[in-house]
Homo-oligomer: A and B are copies of this chain.
Amino acid sequence: MSTSKRRERELAERERLIVTAARDLAEAQGWDAVTTRRLAEIIEYSQPVLYSHFKGKDAIMAAVAVEGCAELAVLLRAARTGAADGVAALAAVAHAYTDFAEQRPALYEAIFALAVGLPFATPAAPAPLQEAFGELLEVVRPLVGDDDLGVRTEVFWASLHGLATLMRDGRLLPDGREQRLAVLLDRFGD
């Protein structure tokens, strides 16, 4: 009776262990270093155990992505609500977004580059993804009104995403970070 409860708890615990291990390993050595064999070794179980929790490696990465997205949403919300006015909020959110991408590159990659299977721009998208996008919507709304809101937010997001990825891959000059953000905010500041 209560033993099954305990087992349930243990299973959930182990599942968290898997996700955390994948995330830590990815942050430390990149996603290429995240293999099912290494994950199995870290959690001290054999490889097939992973497959009783997740359908495959992609599902593990998706779980990391969703978890990371929830954290991103929190950061964005804090940036937005802590700002004095609409323009300041936009700047704060932009900085928070690019900081996140820079400081947790593997996490960012999991969310927005890998994990292509995740449903995104649909109602079926996991809640954390919708929350993160919702933060962007809310920071753009005061500057735009409700008419072009969706489109304007998508473009603003795309610009941030482009800056983050090109920067990460060394495609942009290493020193222009602040200037680029300033230009972007100037463009989208009303």
Chain B residues, Cβ within 8 Å of A29: none
Whether a CB of chain B sits under 8 angstroms from the CB of A85 is: no
- A155 lies within 8 A of chain B by Cβ: yes
**Complex-state Cα separation, A179 to B169, whole angstroms:** 28
A154 B180 Cβ-Cβ under 8 A: yes
Q: If A152-B183, A170-B116, A187-B188 touch, does A159 touch B159 (CB 8 Å cutoff)?
A: yes
Q: B-facing mask of A111-155, CB < 8 A → 1, else 0?
A: 011001000110000000000000000000000000010111011
Instruction: Give 16 CB contacts A-B under 8 Å.
Output: A112-B166, A112-B171, A120-B170, A120-B171, A121-B172, A148-B179, A151-B179, A151-B183, A154-B166, A154-B172, A155-B183, A155-B184, A158-B184, A159-B184, A161-B162, A161-B165
Q: Does A70 contact B (CB under 8 A)?
A: no
Contact check, A155 vs B171: say whether CB atoms are below 8 A apart. no
Copies of this protein, total: 2
A157 at interface by CB-CB < 8 Å: yes
* Interface range on chain A (Cβ under 8 Å from partner): 20 to 34
A1 located at the interface, meaning its Cβ lies under 8 Å from any Cβ of chain B in the complex: no
- Residues in B with CB closer than 8 Å to A161 are 162, 165-166
